[in-house]
Amino acid sequence: MSESKFYHIDISGKLASIQTLDEAFVISKTGGFIWLSYCEPTLDELSLLKEPLGLHPLSIEDCIDDIQIPKIDDFPGNTFILFNAFHYSNKVLAIEEVNLFIGTNFLVTTIRHGLSEKASRRLSPPAPARVAVPRCPPLT
């Protein structure tokens, strides 16, 4: 389920919550810095950022695609960073993808919890091979 939160950090460093994306774009013109935070975003949600922030379409697709390797792409108006975070708890390995777009006056973060089954299988170690070990006769 997608969730988004928007913030404005003014020139004095004060953090204020913003209700809508449109409001974030308007307030960004007054100075300071906007932070657009997405959890489990959709392609449609992130595509809204292409024009106003100058985000590269392939980087936006990378935020949605499960099978990505960590990377840094430097574009004229922003830098895109993708990395994976690993959490191990109760004998379960959880993998999250974290994406950052960093511009002069904005930060966009996206987090995706857990990879698809296809990606998880790719990262799973192979099952151990079973080898029959002959029994030795008891010593007499």
pLDDT for position 88: 81
Please state whether beta strands 33-39 and 3-9 pair in parallel, antiparallel, or not at all (unpaired): antiparallel
For the cut 80, the answer to whether the pLDDT of residue 113 exceeds it is no
CA neighbor of 41 nearest in space, from 96, 84, 88, 1: 1
List, for residues 15-74, the tens digit of each pLDDT value: 999 999 999 999 998 899 999 999 999 999 999 999 999 999 999 999 998 778 899 999
Per the CB < 8 A criterion, the answer to whether 94 and 107 are in contact is: no
52 DSSP assignment: H
Q: Is 139 helix (H, G, I), strand (E, B) or coil?
A: coil
Q: What is the CATH number of domain 3-119?
A: 3.30.460.20
For the cut 60, the answer to whether the pLDDT of residue 136 exceeds it is no
Per the CB < 8 A criterion, the answer to whether 59 and 43 are in contact is: no
Q: Hey, where are the domains in the chain?
A: 3-119
* Structure tokens that stand for 64 in this block: 């949605």
